[in-house]
Amino acid sequence: MSEVLARLDGIERRFGSVVALDGADLILRAGEVHGLLGANGAGKTTLLNVIGGMLRPDAGTIEVGGSVVSFQTPREAWTCGIALAHQHFALVPAQSVLENLALGLARGWADPVRDVRAKALKLMDRIGLRVPLDSRVDHLGVGDKQRLEILKALLKNPRVLVLDEPTAVLAPNEISGLFALLRELAAEGRAVVLVAHKLDEVLMVADRLTVLRAGRTVLSTVPGDYEIPDLVRAMVGADPVDAIAIGVDVEPRSTKREPGESVAHLDRVSVTGGPGVDLEEVSLHVYRGQVVGVAGVEGNGQRSLALLLAGRVSATRGSVTLPEGLGFIPQDRSTEGLIAAFDLTDNVALALHRVAAYQDGPWLRWSELTRHAETIHERFEVQATSTSVLAGSLSGGNQQRVVVGRELSIATDLLIAENPTRGLDVAAAAFVHDEIRRLVATGVGVVLVSTDLDEVLALSDRVFAMTRGRLLEVDEGQRSREGVGALMLGGAFAHA
Amino acid sequence: MAKDVRARVGVGVVAVGATALIGAVLLWWGGYDPQVAAGAMFRGSFGSWNTFASITLVRSVPLILTGLAVSLAFRAGVWNIGAEGQLYAGAIAAVWVGLRGATLPALILVPAVLMAATLGGAAWAMVPALMRLRLGIGEVITTILMNFVGIYLAAYMVHGPLQESRGVFPQTDRLVEAARLPILVPSTRLHLGFALALLLAAGLAVLLRRSTFGFQLRAVGASPEAARVAGRIRTGRVVLASFLVSGGIAGIAGGVEISGLTYALYEGLSPGWGYTAIAVALLGALDPIGVVVAGVFFGALQAGAGAMQREAGVPAAWVGVVEASVILTVLALARLRAVGRRGGS
Amino acid sequence: MNEIEIALFLESGVRLGIPLALAALGETITERSGVINIGLEGSIIAGALGGAVGALAFGDPAVGVMAGALAGVAVAFVFAAFAIGLGTDQIITGTAITLGGLGLTGAVYQARFGATGTALTLPTLPSAPVPLLSDIPWIGGALFDQAPTAYVAYALAPALWYFLFRTAWGLELRAVGEAPIAAHAAGVRVRRVRFLATVFGGGLAGLAGAHLALAHAGTFAEGMSAGRGFIAIAVVVLGRWNPLLVLCAALFFGAASALQFFLQAFGFDAPYQLFLALPYVLTLAALAGWVGRSRAPAALALPWRSE
């Protein structure tokens, strides 16, 4: 067997009362692409941050090249040959690509960018990833940001390259390009660690698999030793399996629900200058009793579409018809869906306080609001001792139960759900999917906007792809990852 | 809820205790006898019923009012550091109406004076509010700058257009009887302004807890994004309204001071109440009822500091240090509690 | 208005602008690291008292200048301990530091020099004309016949610009102020950088205070900082967080404050209280008028914890 580059043994890490890692082990060898699997909340990102020097473990050892190390900062990890490519948030938006590449590389009084430019150009030539060096990062698309993160890590010439969910923001054909690159890097004698929560993506490229569950390494194997159902069981244990959330056995919906009357209508609507990407001449009918799915790589206008349909932004041109009973599940539950410092009753009131039934002149009917919050607490099985618990103290899954419960209770005509399962564990994702199915059966129209293609395909009666602010309907025959993926990238040309 | 109140009261008590300790050490370090100073401080604030009513409670009126103004703004996520300028704007407007309407009966004139004070303070707050909402300029700096403009405007007024008729002293003419707030407790100087402050505090408490506007204000202050996206609240309107109400209350503080106590406007009317108000608001946990308690505490502190200077020779400027240490202790305790909650339970 | 009056106007404009420039240049560095120090006023007044005490104790204004800078550092250190160390709210903490700084200096001054009596007379920093440059017509005397602390401000502006935009340390500092998470991921010690930037800003504010006491007034008075800390923060905004522009903005506001001489020379007879308000009104107008488009560091006033 080839040389062991790094070995993590019995890593433990807590955040307050939450145990994120509880005895995680990982062995990385030269020349391998190592897939790190686990459902959301299994501790993958925490483990990566420990490898990369972002977090110090509470217990356990890290060995690099045979000697035990302890990283105070990420820089010390680089000097040991380990570099971490984050999801796209670890960039400085207001600085240039070059400055982002230089950050932390050059030290002291030196000109930070001079040497880095030549190095970056050489690296980009060699591996074929290109990012415009003089652009400001906030002008880049998400795909470019992800490529920049990978370049940033490779510029440290690491022996161990760690990638945190690099595929989440890439289109299907971009993903295969990335995987080819990872194979090449491994062939040069590096170890590449790839994290994803979709099983079949990891199986496409990995030579070795490690499965984390509840902060613990439960399986370390090579692909082929285990059947997919066994891997799934390793990932989720006894939890109910939600095929969508872990990316196996996803079948596009074949049976179509009969559409009811039109409940929302966009007619050649454009939105410019809003918080998201501009929309151009978007038209859409939403019918009762059907799910409209909107797929697309992040940053193509889905955010604007969701906010428009939810009545949160107004159209620059075109006409918008929306119903009264409208619920909206925004993508970021902790900053947009809930107020962490408010208790559950206040958070329920947040959406309901505008409903006339809960108002009495200038006053709010707090007893009604409290009763309603209690109903949601029970009906949606929110794990909280009472409705006066602060929302910020709940787990992500329970927070989403509050948001979903609240929005379902006002979505008597239309529900807009924007990435409703992002970051949720398998059980919570299954809950959200079940609730959406149940709601649509009662005759409510649903629009599901999601970057998770599998989720869109599995739940939707009609599928649209969003690309550069335009909305394109996907023909029935094209409803597959590959088909929709092609539309997502080149759709504008395909239709023109 | 009850647990929360207990915790806030706990923070307040610890902060006051810590401050007393810091104060004593500072006094000892400055070469004073802490015991003598503390005795003077107590006599000067709680020594007798008359001292308490005429000095402590009278001094607490502008502190409670500006404290309410600041706490309301902070609850809405508005960093109004401008209560000082708003107070002066209110005082100028109040004295102007009071002098102009000298022939009116008290039943009309007193409300008119207070209304003018409210509008003056709100107008002063309107400038930074619009600069934030229209131009995206943070209100911290603009409210502070408006303080200086307000202070100098008042100075100009008492040297210029509103100077007393003999033209000797830098102050306005005295308000006629009909423009003055009645005395609340006979044979003390405690005026109706104190009752007004208590009423306003009670009103704000109900507003914040029960009303739609109060709820929206709290939501915008706690998370503007969630208020906008999940609550469909027009955050700009709520910010503007909170800013104006806050400025209006600070303006009332100026009007009440003039119509209840000094009966004239002069330079240096406020020894920095608008800044002390931040300490009052924080010690009162940004809660109207808490602000009343904290306002009386600081009123006693300022009353006592005066006595301390007279009897023990301790410079009254120490009060600034005490205020600062109250603010810092409350902030530090709140942080430590938050960290403890995250790390412990 | 003749040449002498114009020279006088320019000279006093620069003289009034220098303390603003010193404090604002320091605050520029502080804010670039993501910290807004409203306690700057406290550092300035401490610097003034420190300068006075130091100069008196050693009979040497140069020692006073050092003592003033140190006093400014000490005040900023307290601010940083709370706002960065504990992560308390920067704006409220800064306000408390200003209140405390004004109170403490007032109390110490009264205790040491007595509450009444005549004003303190200090050994002053004489102006040091720069050969040749000070002979330039119109502006030579105004810019180059000033106290040595003025030349510190002139030299600092380009030096800090170079530091911010042409050195790796400057890049790290800006990254900390824009995206602390990214800086942390690149191995930068976010809180350490913020601490140093804040203390540096406090030192310059202390220097500004010492300049006020030793070069400007020749005495110490309670509250003599007179809101300059707040104006300096506005000057940073006007200078768009760029040291070169910040220096220009500070001199501009010095000139605005000196306008009273100019207008009086024209026989413009308005009460001086309105002149006192003028710089503040002009600052507000300038903020409203031309700052609109510029952007503060993204993480300004946001606390940071590494997990």
- Total count of domains within chain A: 2
Residues of B with CB below 8 A from A419's CB?
A: none
Burial of C244 (0-12, 13-18, 19+ CB in 10 A): middle
The arithmetic mean of pLDDT across residues B21-45, rounded, is 84
Does A206 share its domain with A325? no
- Cβ atoms of A63 and A7 closer than 8 Å: yes
Of C297, C292, C79, the residue nearest C200 (C-alpha): C79
How far apart are the C-alpha atoms of B258 and B277, rounded to whole Å? 18
User: Which residues form the domain of A406?
Assistant: 262-495
DSSP secondary structure of A222-269: -TTSS-HHHHHHHHHTTSPP-HHHHT-S-----SPPPP-SEEEEEEEE
Q: Do A75 and C186 touch (CB under 8 A)?
A: yes
Does A235 share its domain with A266? no
A494: confidence class by pLDDT, cuts 50, 70, 90: very low
Most B CBs within 10 Å, among A334, A339, A418, to test the B interface: A339
Does A55 share its domain with A134? yes
- Strands (DSSP E) along C136-195, which ranges? none
Q: Is residue A267 part of a domain?
A: yes
Does A274 share its domain with A233? no
Q: How many CA atoms lie within 13 A of C170 on its CB side?
A: 18
Of A187, A209, A240, the position where a domain reaches its end is A240
pLDDT number for residue B343: 43
Pairing outcome for strands A191-195 and A67-69: unpaired
How far apart are the C-alpha atoms of B341 and B334, rounded to whole Å? 11
Does A457 share its domain with A390? yes
Does A146 share its domain with A89? yes
The arithmetic mean of pLDDT across residues A73-99, rounded, is 90
pLDDT number for residue B132: 94
- Both tokens of B180, joined, read 């003055």
- Cβ atoms of C299 and C34 closer than 8 Å: yes
How far apart are the C-alpha atoms of C94 and C83, rounded to whole Å? 8
| Three-state DSSP class for residue A425 | coil
Cβ of B43: how many Cβ atoms within 10 Å? 16
Q: Do B317 and C288 touch (CB under 8 A)?
A: no
The arithmetic mean of pLDDT across residues A176-187, rounded, is 92
Candidate from A364-378, A386-400, B170-184, B224-238 with smallest mean pLDDT: A386-400
pLDDT number for residue C306: 67
DSSP letter for C133, please: G
- Cβ atoms of B328 and C90 closer than 8 Å: no
pLDDT number for residue A482: 75
The arithmetic mean of pLDDT across residues A157-173, rounded, is 86
How far apart are the C-alpha atoms of B72 and B63, rounded to whole Å? 14
Minimal-distance CA residue of chain C relative to B145: C280
A493: confidence class by pLDDT, cuts 50, 70, 90: very low
Res. A485: pLDDT tops 80: no
Instruction: Give yes or no for A53 touching C (CB within 8 A).
Output: yes
Q: Which helix (H) or strand (E) holds A164?
A: strand A160-164
DSSP letter for B52, please: I
| Three-state DSSP class for residue A394 | coil
How far apart are the C-alpha atoms of A414 and A321, rounded to whole Å? 12
CATH numbers and ranges of domains, chain C? 3-115+139-291 (1.10.3470)
Number of A to B CB contacts under 8 A, please give it: 74
- Both tokens of A36, joined, read 């790190």
Res. A490: pLDDT tops 60: no
Distance from CA of C145 to the nearest CA of A (A): 32
CA trace torsion A254, A257, A262, A267 (10° rounding): 0
Does A218 share its domain with A273? no
B313: confidence class by pLDDT, cuts 50, 70, 90: confident
Letter for the amino acid at C258? A
Q: Is residue A441 part of a domain?
A: yes
**Backbone Cα Rg of chain C:** 19
Does A231 share its domain with A272? no
Q: Do A86 and C185 touch (CB under 8 A)?
A: yes
Better-scored residue on pLDDT, A466 or A255: A466
pLDDT number for residue A319: 95
Burial of A240 (0-12, 13-18, 19+ CB in 10 A): exposed
pLDDT number for residue B315: 83
Long-range own/partner contacts, residues C216-220 (CB < 8 A, 24 or more apart) = C216/C15, C216/C19, C218/C121, C218/C122, C218/C124, C219/C52, C219/C119, C219/C120, C219/C121, C219/C122, C220/C48, C220/C49, C220/C51, C220/C52, C220/C109, C220/C113, C220/C120, C220/C122
Specify which of A62-66, A93-97, A429-433, B119-123 reaches the highest per-range mean pLDDT.
Answer: B119-123
Res. A87: pLDDT tops 80: no
Does A103 share its domain with A200? yes
Q: What digits encode the pLDDT tens for the residues A19-29?
A: 889 999 999 99
Q: Do B223 and A335 touch (CB under 8 A)?
A: yes
Q: What digits encode the pLDDT tens for the residues B224-269?
A: 999 999 999 999 999 999 999 999 999 999 999 999 999 999 999 9
Q: Do B152 and C276 touch (CB under 8 A)?
A: yes
- Both tokens of A198, joined, read 């979709």
C-alpha B42 chain-centroid distance = 23
Q: Do C175 and A95 touch (CB under 8 A)?
A: yes
Instruction: Give yes or no for B194 touching C (CB within 8 A).
Output: no
Distance from CA of A387 to the nearest CA of C (A): 28
Most C CBs within 10 Å, among B71, B310, B328, B339, to test the C interface: B328
- Cβ atoms of C43 and C209 closer than 8 Å: yes
State in Å, rounded, how far the first CA of chain B is from the last one. 19
- Both tokens of C251, joined, read 């001199």
| Three-state DSSP class for residue A295 | strand
Work out whether the CA dihedral C172, C178, C183, C189 comes out positive or negative: positive
Q: Is residue A387 part of a domain?
A: yes
Does A279 share its domain with A220? no
Instruction: Give yes or no for C305 touching A (CB within 8 A).
Output: no
Does A284 share its domain with A222? no
pLDDT number for residue B2: 54
Of B7, B6, B2, the residue nearest B341 (C-alpha): B7
- Both tokens of A206, joined, read 């990995």
A216: confidence class by pLDDT, cuts 50, 70, 90: very high
Of B189, B198, B213, the residue nearest B261 (C-alpha): B189
CATH numbers and ranges of domains, chain B? 20-335 (1.10.3470)
- Cβ atoms of A171 and A150 closer than 8 Å: no
What is the residue whose two structure tokens read 């000082």?
B84
Letter for the amino acid at A154? L
> Max alpha carbon distance in chain C (Å)?
64
Task: Note the residue count of chain C.
Answer: 307
Q: Is residue A434 part of a domain?
A: yes
Q: Is residue A251 part of a domain?
A: no
Q: What digits encode the pLDDT tens for the residues A440-458?
A: 999 999 999 998 888 999 9
Does A217 share its domain with A342? no
Q: What digits encode the pLDDT tens for the residues B121-173?
A: 999 999 999 999 998 888 998 999 999 999 999 999 999 899 999 988 999 99
- Find the CATH number of the domain harbouring A270: 3.40.50.300
A243: confidence class by pLDDT, cuts 50, 70, 90: low
Cβ of B161: how many Cβ atoms within 10 Å? 10
Q: What digits encode the pLDDT tens for the residues A312-360?
A: 999 999 999 999 999 999 988 888 999 999 999 999 999 999 998 999 9
pLDDT number for residue B114: 98
Q: How many CA atoms lie within 13 A of B44 on its CB side?
A: 24
Distances (CA, A) of B211 to A350, A353, B241: 13, 10, 14
- Cβ atoms of A10 and A25 closer than 8 Å: yes
Residues of B with CB below 8 A from C106's CB?
A: 315, 317, 320
Work out whether the CA dihedral C72, C74, C75, C80 comes out positive or negative: positive
- pLDDT in 10s for each residue of chain C, 307 residues: 577 777 788 888 898 899 999 999 999 999 999 999 999 999 999 999 999 999 999 989 999 999 999 999 999 999 999 999 999 999 899 999 999 999 999 988 888 887 555 677 888 888 888 887 877 777 777 788 788 899 999 999 999 999 999 999 999 999 999 999 999 999 999 999 999 999 999 999 999 999 999 988 888 988 899 889 999 999 999 999 999 999 999 998 898 888 876 776 666 666 778 888 888 898 899 888 876 556 788 888 888 876 5
Candidate from A404-413, B2-11, C42-51, C76-85 with smallest mean pLDDT: B2-11
DSSP letter for A96, please: B
The arithmetic mean of pLDDT across residues A39-63, rounded, is 90
Pairing outcome for strands A326-329 and A414-418: parallel
Q: What digits encode the pLDDT tens for the residues A285-304?
A: 999 999 999 998 877 888 99
Which residues 230-249 of B are in CB contact (within 8 Å) with A?
230-232
Of C56, C205, C64, C49, the residue nearest C125 (C-alpha): C64
Instruction: Give yes or no for B216 touching A (CB within 8 A).
Output: yes
Q: Is residue A255 part of a domain?
A: no
Res. A238: pLDDT tops 70: no
pLDDT number for residue A245: 64
Instruction: Give yes or no for B199 touching A (CB within 8 A).
Output: no
State in Å, rounded, how far the first CA of chain C is from the last one. 63
Better-scored residue on pLDDT, B72 or A197: B72
Of B232, B205, B221, B196, the residue nearest B80 (C-alpha): B221
| Three-state DSSP class for residue B77 | coil
- Cβ atoms of A293 and A463 closer than 8 Å: yes
Work out whether the CA dihedral A303, A309, A315, A319 comes out positive or negative: positive
- Both tokens of C15, joined, read 């003289």
pLDDT number for residue A496: 28
DSSP letter for C197, please: H
DSSP secondary structure of B259-294: IIIISS-BTT--SSHHHHHHHHHHHTTT-HHHHHHH
The arithmetic mean of pLDDT across residues A107-132, rounded, is 89
The arithmetic mean of pLDDT across residues B304-314, rounded, is 86
Letter for the amino acid at B14? V
pLDDT number for residue B174: 95
Res. A395: pLDDT tops 90: no
Instruction: Give yes or no for C185 touching A (CB within 8 A).
Output: yes
Task: Note the residue count of chain A.
Answer: 496
What is the residue whose two structure tokens read 């913020």?
C194
Of C150, C125, C146, C145, the residue nearest C134 (C-alpha): C145
State in Å, rounded, how far the first CA of chain A is from the last one. 53
Q: Is residue A337 part of a domain?
A: yes
Pairing outcome for strands A363-364 and A33-37: unpaired
pLDDT number for residue B235: 96
Q: Is residue A254 part of a domain?
A: no
